[in-house]
């Protein structure tokens, strides 16, 4: 049975919804084409009737496609039958990687790259957008704030939807929203750009935790850790490269609006690749769809159904569909509370460091006596030197320890921040020292985020896994919002103070996770839950 048969309840509704979204986006192009002689400037122009009709088609198409993706609700209310043979997750976790696994890895890497590309595009859009609408850079900064707010909301909401309606359905609906937000490229007012940017952020925030969740629940135990970390590293790097490449290729001739219009083909690419995205067998088992779960397990076992050799999955002992409030209470007050709070503190601290301290680092390097051009060159050189460090992160997570690797990179990030504090304190304006500190900070911050979400995708039970990963991903974006607001308040202009204050929550997160975190390397997802319950 093909994977697409396991998720689409009403395939006609889904594909009709996709067609409506595409038609809604295309309805904006005639007005944009009319503005071609003015280099596609639409600021202040009234919307025509075709454009208004297109704006109505997009949300209606998303709703219709969402209905088509919804699972069979009567079956979703079922629980696993206790008298049925346990599903062979343990045996399936020990099969070698095969073509089906690698196809899934390739498609999810594309999905994650497209996901990262969307918010990364904002930096390339803002100069042209500011010039067309005649707004200041500070006002244009609301675009980034709107997108970050959307990612926080999207991570939490879409994470919960992934546990309610399935990982695959949520990925496809997120891609459909990407397609719909392409109309941002034809908006004649800055206000509409803010709305669309929020929606784009919501779709992007939801894609990230779901891809990691699906990967964790499908890849064999022996390869799960390194592939999760590599997925984050490769997908993120590819996303930034796609954003910068698209800006260089399309923006000069087609204006900044072309970068938003790319949401249509990139989102459609994920939709077209849907046949290579299976539903998680663990989610299907949780939903009571045991026959479909066995079919997916057989597909990823090389066509030979593995023989069960371990007890039933944790889904058999989990509530089928707890309310969202109950799920959040389980994460923050139940047996996972200590780990959840440690991961949340880490996520917020990472967001503060990445979207706050790093963004202000070029200006602060100038304050340390390094001229602006040399500062940019130093950062670029540091980023190139730190890039191979992702291999170190993958090795540590896979070969050494998952939780110790996370704690180690948290601690090293705190030390890197304190290193900058010491440089400013004793006034060591050395290019060599500054380069060393920047390389260390970039590597360690990359190490934290590369291990944080994979660990969150492994540590939670199947009925909370997507919700938990979404909560932690949302925390990292919330830290980014705090970083942006603190930057506006001027704290990051005080180099020593900001470095010291950001090191403190990193130290706190490392201490919390060192106490409450458990090892996931080499352990099946069901074994991890059994260890947590002891």
Residues 274, 279, 285: CA angle, nearest 5 degrees: 165
In a domain, 399, yes or no: yes
Predicted confidence (pLDDT) per residue in 454-464, tens digit: 999 999 888 88
Q: Is 80 exceeded by the pLDDT of residue 433? A: no
Q: Is 70 exceeded by the pLDDT of residue 241? A: yes
Q: Does 187 or 492 have the greater pLDDT score?
A: 187
Question: Residues 21-42: what's their mean pLDDT?
Answer: 88
Q: Provide the pLDDT for residue 402.
A: 92
Question: Residues 302-306: what's their mean pLDDT?
Answer: 53
Q: Provide the pLDDT for residue 431.
A: 65
Q: Is 50 exceeded by the pLDDT of residue 369? A: yes
Question: Residues 72-92: what's their mean pLDDT?
Answer: 52
Q: Does 330 or 261 have the greater pLDDT score?
A: 261
In a domain, 43, yes or no: no
Note down the domain range covering 238.
95-287
Q: Which residues contact 485 (CB under 8 A, 6 or more apart)?
A: none
Give me the chain's average pLDDT, please: 80
What is the rounded CA–CA span in Å between residue 208 and residue 77? Answer: 27
Q: Is 90 exceeded by the pLDDT of residue 407? A: yes
Residue 496: exposure state from Cβ atoms within 10 A (0-12, 13-18, ≥19):
middle
What is the rounded CA–CA span in Å between residue 375 and residue 132? Answer: 29
Question: Residues 324-341: what's their mean pLDDT?
Answer: 74
Q: Provide the pLDDT for residue 371.
A: 58
Q: Provide the pLDDT for residue 378.
A: 59
What is the rounded CA–CA span in Å between residue 140 and residue 471? Answer: 28
Check whether residue 270 and residue 342 sit in a common domain: no
Q: Provide the pLDDT for residue 275.
A: 86
Check whether residue 423 and residue 505 sit in a common domain: yes
Q: Provide the pLDDT for residue 2.
A: 42
Check whether residue 266 and residue 340 sit in a common domain: no
Q: Is 90 exceeded by the pLDDT of residue 22? A: yes
How many domains, in total, are found in the chain?
A: 2
Indicate the residue among 256, 287, 318 that finishes a domain.
Answer: 287
Give the model's confidence band at 326: pLDDT under 50 very low, under 70 low, under 90 confident, else very high. low
Q: Does 168 or 1 have the greater pLDDT score?
A: 168
Q: Provide the pLDDT for residue 164.
A: 84
Q: Does 496 or 250 have the greater pLDDT score?
A: 250
In a domain, 155, yes or no: yes
Indicate the residue among 261, 287, 313 that finishes a domain.
Answer: 287
SS3 per-residue string spanning 1-48? CCCHHHHCCCHHHHHHHHHHHHHHHHCCHHHHHHCHHHCCCCCCCCCC
Check whether residue 103 and residue 210 sit in a common domain: yes
Predicted confidence (pLDDT) per residue in 83-135, tens digit: 455 566 666 677 888 888 899 999 999 888 888 887 778 778 878 888 888 88
Residues 282 and 464 sit within 8 Å (Cβ to Cβ):
no
Q: Does 357 or 430 have the greater pLDDT score?
A: 357
Check whether residue 283 and residue 343 sit in a common domain: no
Check whether residue 240 and residue 347 sit in a common domain: no
Q: How many helices (H) and strands (E) does the chain have?
A: 26, 0
Q: Provide the pLDDT for residue 330.
A: 74
In a domain, 32, yes or no: no
In a domain, 85, yes or no: no
Question: Residues 413-427: what's their mean pLDDT?
Answer: 81
Q: Provide the pLDDT for residue 526.
A: 82
Output the CA torsion sign for 97, 101, 161, 354.
positive
| Residue percentage of the chain with pLDDT more than 70 | 81
Q: Provide the pLDDT for residue 303.
A: 54
Q: Is 70 exceeded by the pLDDT of residue 78? A: no
Q: Is 50 exceeded by the pLDDT of residue 215? A: yes
What is the rounded CA–CA span in Å between residue 91 and residue 223? Answer: 14
What is the rounded CA–CA span in Å between residue 351 and residue 476? Answer: 5
Q: Is 90 exceeded by the pLDDT of residue 404? A: yes
Predicted confidence (pLDDT) per residue in 267-284, tens digit: 999 999 988 998 888 888
Q: Is 60 exceeded by the pLDDT of residue 322? A: no
Q: Provide the pLDDT for residue 295.
A: 84
Check whether residue 377 and residue 515 sit in a common domain: yes
Indicate the residue among 252, 287, 322 that finishes a domain.
Answer: 287
Give the model's confidence band at 316: pLDDT under 50 very low, under 70 low, under 90 confident, else very high. very low
Query: pTM, whole model, 2 decimals?
Result: 0.82
Q: Is 50 exceeded by the pLDDT of residue 234? A: yes
In a domain, 488, yes or no: yes
Pick from 71-80, 111-120, 196-205, 505-514: least confident = 71-80
In a domain, 144, yes or no: yes
In a domain, 363, yes or no: yes
Token reading at 219: 């890849």
Check whether residue 106 and residue 223 sit in a common domain: yes
What is the rounded radius of gyration, in angstroms, for the C-alpha atoms of the chain? Answer: 23
Q: Is 50 exceeded by the pLDDT of residue 218? A: yes
Question: What CATH number corresponds to the domain at position 256?
Answer: 1.20.1250.20
Check whether residue 259 and residue 360 sit in a common domain: no
Check whether residue 263 and residue 361 sit in a common domain: no
Residues 156, 75, 275: CA angle, nearest 5 degrees: 65
Q: Provide the pLDDT for residue 359.
A: 65
Give percent helix, percent strand, percent coil of the chain, each to the nearest 5.
80, 0, 20
Highest average pLDDT, of 81-95, 193-207, 317-331, 358-372, comes from: 193-207
Check whether residue 159 and residue 243 sit in a common domain: yes
Check whether residue 232 and residue 357 sit in a common domain: no
88: helix, strand or coil: coil
């Amino acid at each position: 049975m093909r994977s697409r048969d396991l998720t689409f309840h009403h395939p006609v509704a889904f594909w009709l919804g996709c067609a409506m979204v595409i038609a809604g986006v295309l309805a904006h192009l005639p007005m944009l084409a009319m503005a071609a002689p003015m280099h596609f400037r639409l600021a202040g122009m009234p919307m025509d009737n075709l454009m208004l009709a297109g704006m109505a088609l997009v949300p209606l198409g998303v709703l219709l496609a969402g209905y088509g993706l919804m699972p069979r609700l009567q079956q979703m209310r079922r629980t696993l039958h206790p008298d049925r043979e346990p599903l062979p997750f343990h045996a399936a976790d020990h099969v070698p990687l095969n073509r089906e696994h690698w196809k899934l890895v390739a498609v999810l890497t594309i999905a994650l790259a497209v996901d990262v590309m969307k918010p990364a595009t904002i930096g390339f859009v803002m100069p042209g957008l500011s010039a067309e609408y005649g707004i200041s850079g500070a006002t244009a900064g609301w675009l980034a704030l709107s997108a970050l707010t959307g990612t926080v909301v999207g991570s939490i909401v879409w994470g919960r939807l992934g546990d309610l309606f399935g990982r695959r359905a949520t990925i496809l609906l997120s891609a459909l929203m990407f397609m719909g937000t392409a109309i941002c490229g034809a908006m004649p007012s800055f206000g509409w750009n803010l709305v669309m940017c929020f929606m784009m952020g919501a779709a992007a925030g939801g894609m990230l935790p779901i891809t990691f969740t699906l990967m964790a629940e499908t890849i064999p135990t022996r390869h799960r850790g390194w592939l999760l970390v590599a997925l984050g590293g490769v997908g993120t790097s590819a996303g930034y490269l796609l954003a910068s490449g698209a800006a260089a290729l399309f923006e000069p001739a087609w204006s900044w609006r072309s970068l938003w219009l790319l949401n249509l083909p990139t989102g459609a690419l994920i939709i077209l690749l849907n046949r290579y995205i299976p539903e998680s067998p663990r989610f299907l088992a949780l939903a009571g769809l045991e026959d479909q779960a066995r079919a997916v397990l057989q597909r990823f076992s090389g066509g030979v159904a593995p023989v069960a050799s371990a007890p039933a999955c944790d889904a058999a002992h989990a509530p089928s569909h707890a309310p969202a409030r109950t799920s959040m209470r389980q994460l923050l007050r139940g047996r996972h509370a200590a780990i959840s709070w440690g991961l949340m503190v880490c996520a917020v601290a990472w967001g503060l460091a990445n979207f706050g301290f790093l963004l202000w680092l070029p200006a602060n390097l100038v304050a340390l006596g390094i001229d602006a051009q040399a500062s940019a060159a130093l950062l670029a050189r540091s980023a190139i030197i730190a890039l191979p460090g992702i291999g170190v992160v993958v090795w540590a997570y896979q070969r050494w320890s998952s939780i110790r690797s996370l704690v180690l990179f948290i601690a090293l990030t705190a030390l890197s921040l304190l290193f900058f504090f010491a440089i400013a304190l004793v006034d060591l304006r050395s290019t060599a020292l500054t380069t060393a500190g920047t390389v260390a900070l970039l590597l360690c911050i990359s190490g934290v985020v590369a291990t944080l979400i994979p660990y969150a995708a492994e540590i939670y039970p199947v009925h909370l896994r997507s919700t938990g990963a979404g909560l932690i991903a949302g925390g990292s974006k919330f830290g980014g919002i705090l970083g942006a607001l603190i930057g506006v308040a001027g704290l990051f202009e005080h180099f020593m103070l900001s470095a010291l204050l950001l090191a403190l929550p990193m130290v706190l997160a490392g201490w919390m996770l060192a106490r409450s975190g458990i090892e996931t390397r080499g352990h099946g997802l069901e074994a991890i839950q059994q260890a947590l319950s002891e």
